[in-house]
Amino acid sequence: YILCFCLNAQELDVHKIELTDIVLISTISEYIKETKTFDSLFNHVGYVKVHVRGLNNYNKEKEIFRIYYITDSSFPLEKNDQDKSYPDYYTYIDDKLVLIYNDLNKELFKYTFSSSSKKKLRKLMDPFLSPKITPKYLPKNKKERDFIKDFREQYVRFRHTELIIIKGENPIVIKNVH
């Protein structure tokens, strides 16, 4: 006999967290400072994304303990974006919004975020995005106006940092990898 169980996916909330890994916190802080120096626009437009790429809690000799991939973005999350576009957690470091994606969870589990949680996150992101086009600059044609009513300028920086922590040794920080 083959038994199949269909379970309705529980809707989850995106939670605010406090990071405890001081190496990760200092690396993110350094990334923010460098990016602001590199591009002054980042002082008021943009947020940080951290992807947890690997965890190894088995601690065999010199194995990689944790891998974090750190980037910045100025792209808004949209109402109709897939759930995988939304982070699992968020926090603030140096007054910047930091979205944390646990890539391992997304590989192992299929889950959805509640509409209210996604809406709340989009609202939290708003101060870190460029302003929407003002109504006076919208086209007169209704179809064109509806198409671009939420348009914002978006910026791409081709840089990121990868933080690799090897248990018992100094972490390896690889910066500005293209």
122-126 contacts, C-beta under 8 A, 24 or more apart = 122/76, 122/77, 122/78, 122/79, 124/90, 124/97, 125/47, 125/76, 125/77, 125/97, 126/76
pTM: 0.77
Beta strand 64-73 pairing with 47-55: antiparallel
Which of the four pLDDT bands, split at 50, 70 and 90, describes residue 2?
A: very low
113-126, pLDDT tens digit by residue?
888 999 999 999 99
In this model, does residue 1 exceed pLDDT 70?
A: no
6-47, pLDDT tens digit by residue?
434 567 788 899 999 888 999 999 999 999 998 888 999 999
Would you tell me how many other CB atoms lie within 10 Å of the CB of residue 56? Answer: 14
Domain ranges of the chain: 14-175
62-114, pLDDT tens digit by residue?
566 778 889 999 888 888 788 888 999 999 999 999 999 987 766 666 778 88
What residue type is 172 in one-letter code?
I
CA dist 175 to 34, 100, 121, 131, 160, Å? 10, 19, 28, 30, 6
Contact (Cβ atoms closer than 8 angstroms) between residue 24 and residue 163? yes
Which of the four pLDDT bands, split at 50, 70 and 90, describes residue 169?
A: low
- Alpha-carbon Rg for the chain, nearest whole angstrom, is 19
Average pLDDT over residues 167-178: 65
Q: How far apart are CA 98 and CA 169, in angstroms?
A: 26
Q: How far apart are CA 27 and CA 42, in angstroms?
A: 17
